[in-house]
């Protein structure tokens, strides 16, 4: 009999939920993580009263009541609404594209005027069969929105010109003919008051956790200590790239503390010019400190993070998969192999090779619990 029922590789949402539910059912669990902190990419660190999202902005949103109720066991959420602002040169535009955006771009006031303007630009472009992402975007929203708010941002995200990117990357560009800056359409939305790390701490309470512990450096020893492995890292790496390498995008974060109370007046500002190397600046205090969130800002300093897209290689952290046809077909080979492997369960963005939001990760983890923990 092995020492543990489950070895869980990765302490993000998927791994921690599985660990919590297994422990609740009396299973012996070991959680390991190669990082020096728990919580994966949702890790937040409190600095002088500001909860810093160390791996990019995480705004929880879902329409799944079961998922919402589940996560609310572990923290109380505020009513933060994601309303990013896009900055093009010295012009600021509300996102997602809505009547506030169109009024600033063209001076239009009514939905009918905005629709007419977009239709006019689409007609002038005369694109019937888009050959690349640039043509696809213009055929959906016209030239003005594309050039100011889509082009530079997208080229930075993908590390390639829009004329070189396939059209299918953008299937639609949502435009709203209402005055509403709420980015998401979901029923439930917010940020856990006190940050995300507390959620994972509560889930892993009473469970053995080893940090700074890389599965691949200790593979031989680890493969023999548990009946089953729950693996939330890259599936292709687990199988030693047997069928070849899947593609991912990486990110780089540059954090700065400033001795001013309020730097940009919003939690997220996207920089849509190609010439500005970062895609966005996050000002962390605005996730929790605002009159509208019921908490006054009395902190005299602020912390910002510049987020840079980065080309992934094996030495860098993989943040999200590139789900094009080629990669999805390659992933399917790994998924078929995994389905025959009775000793391992794959989960999370990297293990399942899907660009999941947090609520989808939770739903998948609960489904996995249902299937594996009777």
Digit-coded pLDDT (tens) for 249-262: 999 999 999 999 99
Q: Across all residues in the chain, what is the average pLDDT?
A: 97
Catalytic annotation present for 355: yes
Is residue 172 scored above 90 in pLDDT?
no
Nearest by Cα to 147 from 125, 180, 172, 115: 125
Beta strands 60-62 and 268-271 are unpaired
Catalytic annotation present for 249: yes
Catalytic annotation present for 217: no
**Number of helices and strands in the chain (H, E):** 13, 16
The CB-side HSE value for 317 (13 A sphere, CA atoms) comes to: 11
Asked whether the beta carbons of 9 and 32 are under 8 A apart, the reply is yes
- The average pLDDT across 319-328 equals 92
Structure confidence at residue 153 (pLDDT): 97
Structure confidence at residue 292 (pLDDT): 83
pTM of the model: 0.96
- Report the SS3 class of residue 204: coil
Tokens of 253: 């974060």
pLDDT-based confidence at residue 168 (cuts at 50, 70, 90) = confident
Structure confidence at residue 217 (pLDDT): 98
Q: Which domains does the chain have, with CATH numbers?
A: 4-82+189-248+321-372 (3.40.50.720), 112-169 (no CATH)
pLDDT-based confidence at residue 290 (cuts at 50, 70, 90) = confident
Q: Per mean pLDDT, which range of 235-249, 312-326, 337-351 is the poorest? A: 312-326
Is residue 323 scored above 90 in pLDDT?
no
Per residue in 12-31, pLDDT (tens digit) is 999 999 999 999 999 999 99
Structure confidence at residue 169 (pLDDT): 87
The alpha carbon of 54 is separated from its chain's Cα centroid by a whole number of angstroms, namely 12
Structure confidence at residue 129 (pLDDT): 95
Question: Of the residues 172, 296, 325, 371, which is catalytic?
Answer: 172
Structure confidence at residue 324 (pLDDT): 86
Q: Where are the beta strands (DSSP E) in the chain?
A: 4-9, 29-32, 44-47, 50-53, 60-62, 85-88, 91-94, 188-190, 208-210, 226-231, 248-258, 268-271, 280-283, 302-311, 320-321, 344-346
Question: Of the residues 121, 186, 297, 357, which is catalytic?
Answer: 357
Question: Of the residues 146, 249, 271, 289, which is catalytic?
Answer: 249
The alpha carbon of 83 is separated from its chain's Cα centroid by a whole number of angstroms, namely 16
Question: Of the residues 35, 87, 176, 349, which is catalytic?
Answer: 176
Structure confidence at residue 147 (pLDDT): 98
Question: Of the residues 48, 69, 355, 370, which is catalytic?
Answer: 355
Structure confidence at residue 346 (pLDDT): 98
Catalytic annotation present for 307: yes
Question: Of the residues 280, 288, 331, 349, which is catalytic?
Answer: 280
The alpha carbon of 301 is separated from its chain's Cα centroid by a whole number of angstroms, namely 27
Catalytic annotation present for 314: no
- Taking residue 254's Cβ as centre, other Cβ atoms within 10 Å add up to 12
- Say how far apart CA 115 and CA 166 lie, in whole Å: 26
Q: Residue 68 class from Cβ within 10 Å (0-12 exposed, 13-18 middle, 19+ buried)?
A: buried
Asked whether the beta carbons of 111 and 175 are under 8 A apart, the reply is no
Tokens 């999805």 appear where? 328
- Say how far apart CA 27 and CA 175 lie, in whole Å: 49
Structure confidence at residue 180 (pLDDT): 97
Question: Of the residues 33, 134, 135, 307, which is catalytic?
Answer: 307
Is residue 374 scored above 80 in pLDDT?
no
**Percent of the chain topping pLDDT 70:** 100
Structure confidence at residue 62 (pLDDT): 98
Non-local (6+) Cβ contacts of 160 within 8 A are none
- The average pLDDT across 163-187 equals 94
- The average pLDDT across 47-52 equals 96
Q: At what angle do helices 151-158 and 133-141 cross, to 10 degrees?
A: 150
């Amino acid at each position: 009999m092995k020492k543990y029922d489950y070895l869980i590789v990765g302490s993000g949402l998927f791994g921690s939920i599985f660990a919590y539910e297994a422990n609740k059912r009396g299973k012996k669990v070991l959680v390991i993580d190669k990082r020096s902190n728990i919580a994966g990419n949702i890790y937040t660190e409190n600095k002088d009263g500001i909860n810093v999202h160390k791996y990019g902005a995480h705004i929880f949103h879902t329409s799944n009541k079961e998922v919402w109720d589940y996560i609310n066991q572990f923290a109380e959420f505020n009513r933060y609404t994601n309303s990013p602002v896009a900055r093009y040169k010295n012009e600021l535009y509300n996102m997602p594209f809505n009547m506030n955006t169109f009024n600033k771009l063209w001076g239009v006031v009514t939905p009918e005027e905005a629709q007419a303007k977009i239709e006019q630009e689409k007609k002038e472009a005369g694109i019937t069969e888009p050959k690349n992402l640039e043509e696809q975007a213009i055929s959906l929203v016209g030239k003005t929105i594309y050039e100011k708010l889509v082009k530079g941002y997208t080229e930075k995200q993908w590390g390639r010109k829009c004329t070189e990117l396939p059209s299918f990357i953008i299937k639609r560009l949502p435009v709203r003919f209402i005055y509403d800056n709420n980015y998401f359409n979901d029923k439930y939305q917010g940020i856990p008051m006190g940050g995300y790390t507390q959620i994972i701490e509560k889930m892993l309470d009473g469970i053995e956790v080893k940090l700074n512990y890389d599965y691949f450096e200790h593979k031989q020893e680890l493969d023999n200590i548990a009946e089953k492995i729950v693996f939330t890292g890259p599936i292709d790496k687990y199988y030693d790239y047997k069928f070849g390498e899947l593609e991912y995008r990486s990110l780089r974060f540059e954090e700065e503390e400033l001795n001013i109370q309020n730097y940009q007046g919003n939690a997220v500002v996207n920089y849509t010019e190609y010439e500005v190397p970062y895609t966005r600046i996050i000002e962390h205090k605005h996730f929790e400190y605002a009159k509208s969130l019921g908490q006054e800002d009395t902190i005299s300093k602020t912390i910002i993070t510049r987020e840079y897209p980065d080309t992934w290689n094996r030495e860098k952290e993989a943040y999200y998969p590139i789900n094009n046809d080629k990669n999805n077909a390659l992933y399917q080979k790994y998924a078929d192999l995994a389905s025959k492997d009775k000793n391992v369960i794959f989960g999370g963005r990297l293990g399942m090779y899907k660009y999941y939001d947090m609520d989808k990760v939770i739903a998948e983890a609960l489904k996995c619990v249902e299937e594996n923990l009777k």
